[in-house]
A and B are shown apart, each in its own frame.
Chain A
Amino acid sequence: MKIKILLPIILLLGLGSCKKTLEEHPKSIAAEDFYNTPAEVESGLDAIYSPLRDPNNLGAIYQTQLECYADYMYGRGSHAVLNNYQGLDNTNITRVGTIWQLFYQSIRNANIIIQKTPLAKSVADTAKSRYIAEARFMRGLGYFFLVRNWAGVPLRTEANMDSINLKRSTAQDVYAQIVSDLTFAETNLPNAPRLIGAPSKWSAKTVLADVYMNMGLYSNARDEALAVIQSGNFSLVNVGIVSDFDKLYGADVVNSTEEIFYLKFARAPAGQGNYYPMYAFYPNSGYYPPGGYYTFYSDSVNNGVLSTWDRKDLRYSYNWYGQTFGLGNTTVLNKKYVDKQAVTAAGNDYPMYRYADLLLLYAEAEMRVNNGPDADAMEKLNMVHRRAYGKDPLTANPTVDFALADYASADTFLTLVVKERGYEDCSEGKRWLDLKRLGIVKRVILAVKGITVADKHLLWPIPTTEYNYNKAINPATDQNPGY
């Protein structure tokens, strides 16, 4: 009899507390209660950088991909098809699809900050606008990478980040968004960055200058670049001998006067290093202890860019070393990012925007605005050039300087700037985009490698992971040509 009374009691006791028992209390942070204090917003801001620094993106593969396209480089193994210039195979389509995904993940993280920061409870208004400016800088930068490699892409902002189906915007619309983001950033970012590796007002102006160059708005570009030069915040690092370039690119460099906007890497903790050197080196070369895939290489004799590269230019010796592995004894590999102390990955940063880049951008913009070079343009070019020969960049040096008279026409000067940028930015993933911007890809590649570049090779395909699930993009009509 007792049991008949007990049983319902047991059941009631058990079930009475059901609701609470079934509640979930994970030991992690819920998005709804976050983004209220400066520290919380900053940790969200920092998350914008991680997808860019991923080894499958600007942490190695992006630059590897673009360097294999360069006139001075060749790809090996699964990257060999890249310098056939006939478009991508499945392996490489998958690779660039991942790059697309990572850029958009970074853009999503930026959108979250742009959306959530105005609601932050304990952040001052001035700090809010700085945070939003940094997020918009990063978003604009992300779209700049996307638009150059894919042309028009879906424009996801804080306003439409939750809608699944979103059509491909035109390249023009994407550029308009980039300009809007970067203009906001240049107004609201501080003179000095939040942290080394975060953007300042000058980073925004520098990127904006590059954007305007790509849009053909040369006087805007010139003005932005000039403002950065005139700020006096930056200078070229002096170089006397080849190894002095380590003060710029070396693994131990934390910051330099030349740094405008870099992606920062560190050997420790594990997983935060730069993996690009892994693709560059040959194992046991001594330059990079973790090994090497020697994915891209060149040839000091059989490649036109290298064979004509003045050996007195310190950048040649800094960039290349001989390494034979069965392709003849003039094969060379790139050693710009040496890290002899690397354990898992390198400590070298990715120099996305250096002062040298800006000077050369300025030189070109100034020339284009005036329809011909002037002394100012030539001086900026010569600053970079002198430094490459171990001379003081700020002192004219007739032994190495280019004379304006020799490059008086717009065409000859442009060719000179492009060549100088090729040497200066070797192995920085910038060459291919330059050739595309200038519309000289086909000419240059045919001249150097004897290959006619297929049109489809100029843009990457919209990944299947996008158009399969984004019903506003029709692969038949919206895909980039040739895919």
Chain B
Amino acid sequence: MKLTAFLLICSILQVSARGFAQKITLSEREASPEKIFTRIEQQTGYKFVYTETFLKNARPVTVHLKNASLDEVLAICLKDMPYTWSMLNNLVVIKEKAAENAPPTPPVQDITGTILDDKGNAIAGATIAVKGTRQNAVSGTDGGFSFKGLREDAVLVISFTGYQTKEIAIRGKHELTVRLEISVRALNEIVVVAYGTVRKRDLTGSVSQVKPAEITSYPANNVINALQGRAAGVQVQQNNGAPGGSISVRIRGTNSILGGNEPLYVVDGFPYPKNPTFIQPGDIESVEILKDASSIALYGSRGANGVIMITTRNGHKGGKTQVDLSSGYTVQSPMKKIKLMNAGEYAQFYNLQAADDNLSPYFTQQQIDSLSKGPSTNWQDLVMHDAPMYTNNITVSGGDDKTQYSLSGGLFSQNGIIRNSIFNRYTLRGNLNHEISKIFSVSYNIYLTRSDGRNQNSGGSNRGADLISGMLEAPPTLSPYLANGSYRRLNTAYPFISNTIVNPLVTLNTISDKFKADNVFSNAALTIKPIKDLSIRISGGIYNSNNRTDTYTAIEPSTNSVGSATVGTNQVTSLLNENVATYNKTFGEHHLSVTAGYTFQNYVETTLSGSGTGFLSDISQTGNLSAASIPGIPNTSYQKWVLLSLIGRLNYSYSDKYFATLSFRRDGSSRYAPDNKWSNFPSAAIAWRIYNEKFLKDAKWISDLKLRASYGATGSTAIDPYATLNQLSSGNTIFGDNPYITYAPGTTLPGNLKWETTNQFDAGLDAAFLGGRLRLAADVYLKKTNNLLNRVQLPVSMGYTTTLRNVGQVQNKGLELAAEADVFKGAVNWTVGANISFNRNKVLKLYQGQDIYGNTIYTGNLNDYVNILRQGKPMGMFYGYKETGYTATGDIQYADLNKDGKISADDKTFLGNPNANFLYGFNSVVSYKGFELTVFLQGTQGNDIFNLNKTSTLDLGMGLNVPREEFYDHWTPTNTHAKYPKISRSISGNMSSRFVENGSYLRFRNIQLAYNLPVKKWAPEWWRSAQLYVSGQNLITITKYSWYDPDVNTYGSANSITTGIDYFTYPTYKSVTVGLRCGF
């Protein structure tokens, strides 16, 4: 309103104040008038006044002027536009020309023209519309078009995909040549970085951005899952296929032995201590992955593994309320089933074993015949099924200049492909920004999540003792139920059968492992802009989670279960306070931005658990632990850490060509020994935007080029709280018939520990070609982690088994490439994106050169570690015995590498590498009219998997079912080059080369066909958009891996030593989704 009044005054006064003596120097390319005006304001002190319509009609301008007058600058800015300007005191008023002179009836005329691209080539198919009318035309193959009878003041709007839309007033001309400028959309995007945002083109560090469309392109139960294959240098591995199952993320390789290797997650500025599974993919505005030292330096001691910044949706200005709705229904099914022996084969197989071991046959020929003819029990079919998954999300957002808001609600429900497993998540989110005055503004967001469900998983057991090993190893000859309807007991079914095998249906149906979790995640901030260019943000955040697990094993005679209940609770509260000031200043060609602040975060975790065994009835389940005949000892725990930090960053740029960033964080952590609590994490980065250099001014084929380099240090809080203190643990023992409390040190000897530090060098290049239709980013990096916290083994005779020391060094180096191209533009649009990353990992130094072993895995017949860390080798290499074939009697022959005539631990060697040579992702989007076809591929190359599922093939004294191929291809005196040794219960099995398989794969992660309904044509005006889609996930996987899925990591977790193993893992699924996305 104010503005209208003001304009009125201006036009009445008709003040002309042209010719001011102020001189202006400007060098801008494709800058918006708004920006140019700001520059002029900075240099002259003039203020500009203009309408929004002007901004909408304005187009970017390129100006290179030195000591020019305001007149000259504005002439360029307003060139070819129906606007003029006038001056009032210090105010420059931009107004429509029409207001100055409006001829009553403008004359009518004809016009012809040609549309050219920035290189002067004709553009065919461009749309030329006459503004304010229904008239339009399309340019021909020569780029030509023509209109008849246009008004003299008509304005033509010329648009063509991939180019900036241009408006031209014809002003009585009869011939026009229009050059369209390429729109370099990607380079003007804003990316979120530590404590701020930056234009992508101004970045000095290495940051990958993943867009919401990619995150929501298929139903993923976890935001992080959706990042798989999307960004170079980011490895996302699904540890198993369970609903709500965990995943491991590694950015640029594995740095730490003892500490976590998971990146730091920062959700709306809040460093979140875990993997943020509570976030709905639909609520995400953007995900940025900070990879190099300069980008992550402001997260100091927690940045070494990279940082994933998650920003949730904001409201928007403009007054219009938007409602977005999406809904999907998915059917999941097992990717494949393992080919195991059927009943007849099983009986013959174990008769072969009996024969080999000089025992009388277990099955008579008559039994074999009847088993061969009769039905086999397919335990995989009984345990797994096709399962539904639902995703529903609604978002309401809107706002005006002062207040913006976004509200959303979501429901995610996934039934697992293993029966009786389910994961539900209900979310409510609100986000509010309000400008109180020019100085103060506030923002608030809150995220409430409830998740609950029921787990079914491998208990890490063997010989059929848990669900998954039972499903794979239970005899196909036995039906699950007895004639009276009760469960069949498997471990006494045959004399030769495993004494621990459990009917998998008993595990499936009688063990109820339920969880529920409530998360509150809330953040409020006050922003103060006391003076020009200075902004101070004071924020406070709370993260609170309450979890409870209820596990009940029902009374079941066939497993000797008398009912056992366990209840566990876990409460986490983390408080965050951040006080950050940012100062921006531009003087001439120099731009300076300084950020400084002070932050505090704490984290308190308490747990409480109770248990009991022996119930009279299943009715109370976990509802009445005091009814247990054997009460468990209740347990509680308490843990707290505090992190205090000072942060500082200085960004400097000159003339949009030269950029430099210096960052610094000083962290104080409660976790470390008193003299080592504080540490500094500095970094520096430079970038050179060559594109803006004069010598590239005429290179039409190039549309952006920038070189970057950075170096810096970041840390990892690799140790748990209290690890440096000499604490006693309590325990129990019995005297008489009563329990007594004991106190003694644990098995880890405390050490005087300091920070683990990662130094990283990164050099990168960002480029765009062919008018931005081809965009590339490349990075090379070298990371070294020093003072590596290492669990140093002690001789066990000390009574301690390990201590912690800061010794060791690990190196990661790699190359990342990402490319995006708009292959076709026009009626058919085709965009492809691809990324590939190579990482090489090497352990440089370990304590006294001692090897570090992964967890010992007990399979019943084998009991050894699989992974090893050795100096000079990549982390987690598979280490064991190398097979060379078979002995004369059909047993496995191992290589006697030290030639001492016997096979012992000294004969172990490297068997494989769980680290991939490279990871890649490829995305293609083709759209034509309303249709859109998306194909997303993703894969790894060169990694090995240790397939321990196959230990049963050497464990033949236990009556376990085995892969069918063993029955048909085992050693016999006439088949000495068989895949499997003789069928005997005395095979000398070891963790050997037999289990190492090629884990490379190429997966069609998602194939989607979407149709955008032409709602504009038939729906009411309030209906913005509607999309129907059908998609398939994981439908095709190309791999040589023999088990369920190569995307597996049974022992995957923050720790990276025991890795690359597949052992009785919840299988992953493939799925088909139909869904609807609507906007109102």
Contacts and interface: CB of A to CB of B under 8 A. Distances in A.
Interface of A: 2-3, 7, 10-11, 14-15, 18, 21-32, 34, 40, 43-44, 46-47, 49-50, 53, 77-78, 80, 89-91, 94, 97, 100-101, 104-105, 107-109, 111-112, 153-154, 156, 161-162, 164-166, 195-198, 254-255, 264-272, 282-284, 289-295, 324-327, 343-344, 347, 463-470, 473, 483
Contacts of B632: 269-271
Contact of B631 (A90, A268, A284, A465): A268
Nearest to B744: A47
The 6 A-B residue pairs whose C-beta atoms are closest, nearest first, are A326-B495, A108-B799, A470-B795, A47-B744, A195-B735, A47-B742
A454 B956 CA distance: 26
B496 interface: yes
Contacts of A464: 905
A469 B795 contact: yes
Interface string B495-515: 110011000000000000000
Contacts of A18: 644, 668
Contact of A3 (B534, B600, B633, B646): B534
B923 interface: no
B850 A108 contact: no
B725 A24 contact: yes
Contact of B727 (A31, A46, A469): A31
Contacts of B745: 31, 108, 112
A309 B361 CA distance: 32
Contacts of B640: 24-25
Nearest to A464: B905
A47 B796 contact: no
Contact of B797 (A197, A269, A466): A466
A337 to B, nearest CB: 15
Contact of A325 (B492, B530, B722): B492
Contact of B728 (A30, A91, A271): A30
A3 B668 CA distance: 26
B850 A283 contact: no
Contact of A284 (B489, B646, B669): B489
Interface of B: 362, 489, 491-492, 494-496, 499-500, 528, 530-531, 534, 536, 557, 559-560, 562, 564, 579, 581, 598, 600, 611-614, 629-633, 638-640, 642, 644, 646, 668-671, 677, 721-722, 724-729, 731-745, 747, 793-801, 850, 856, 860-864, 904-905, 957-958, 986, 988, 990
B119 to A, nearest CB: 52
B492 A343 contact: no
Contacts of B496: 326
A91 B860 CA distance: 9
Contacts of A165: 795
Contact of A77 (B639, B721, B724, B957): B957
Given A43-B743, A108-B800, A344-B613, A22 B795 contact: no
B598 A32 contact: no
A38 to B, nearest CB: 13
25 contacts: A14-B644, A15-B598, A18-B644, A18-B668, A22-B670, A46-B740, A47-B743, A47-B744, A50-B744, A78-B863, A89-B988, A90-B864, A104-B799, A112-B744, A156-B798, A162-B798, A164-B794, A269-B732, A283-B560, A326-B495, A343-B614, A344-B564, A347-B737, A464-B905, A465-B796
Contact of B734 (A34, A272, A465, A469): A272
Contact of A195 (B500, B740, B861): B740
A398 B731 CA distance: 52
Contact of A47 (B362, B733, B863): B733
A2 B632 CA distance: 61
A34 B530 contact: no
A264 B612 CA distance: 21
A32 B731 CA distance: 19
Contact of B799 (A91, A109, A295): A109
B13 to A, nearest CB: 37
Contacts of B799: 104-105, 107-109, 111, 156, 161
B797 A104 contact: yes
B630 A268 contact: yes
A156 B794 CA distance: 14
A343 B797 contact: no
A24 B721 contact: yes
Contacts of A154: 795, 797
B633 A269 contact: yes
Given A10-B598, A266-B737, A470-B797, A282 B630 contact: no
B491 A283 contact: yes
B633 A43 contact: no
Nearest to A98: B796
A272 B800 contact: no
B492 A267 contact: no
Nearest to B581: A7
Contact of A44 (B562, B633, B677, B744): B744
A166 B743 contact: no
Nearest to B614: A343
Contacts of A156: 797-799
Given A50-B732, A50-B733, A195-B740, A153 B797 contact: yes
A264 B860 CA distance: 29
Contacts of B727: 26, 28-31
Nearest to A193: B735
A90 B796 contact: no
Contacts of A326: 362, 494-496
B900 to A, nearest CB: 11
A11 B670 CA distance: 19
A291 B536 CA distance: 67
A271 B737 contact: no
A26 B721 contact: yes
A3 B795 contact: no
A53 B734 contact: yes
Contacts of B531: 3
The winner among B495, B562, B630, B638 for most chain A CB atoms within 10 A is B630
The winner among A23, A24, A94, A284 for most chain B CB atoms within 10 A is A24
B729 A28 contact: yes
A49 B735 CA distance: 10
A74 to B, nearest CB: 14
A27 B725 contact: no
Nearest to A53: B733
A90 B600 CA distance: 51
Contact of A101 (B534, B629, B801): B801
A153 B860 CA distance: 30
A343 B562 contact: yes
Nearest to A195: B735
A195 B559 CA distance: 37
A91 B904 CA distance: 12
A50 B735 CA distance: 11
B321 to A, nearest CB: 36
Nearest to A49: B733
Given A50-B732, A268-B630, 10 more contacts: A21-B642, A25-B640, A26-B721, A29-B727, A47-B731, A104-B798, A105-B747, A270-B632, A344-B613, A465-B793
A11 B598 contact: yes
Contacts of B534: 3
A131 B434 CA distance: 70
B734 A266 contact: yes
B904 to A, nearest CB: 8
B860 A269 contact: no
A284 B668 contact: no
Nearest to B794: A469
A197 B864 CA distance: 36
Given A3-B534, A272-B732, A21 B644 contact: yes
A34 B630 contact: no
Contacts of A101: 796, 801
A270 B796 contact: no
B670 A24 contact: yes
A291 B721 contact: no
A24 B630 CA distance: 37
B201 to A, nearest CB: 31
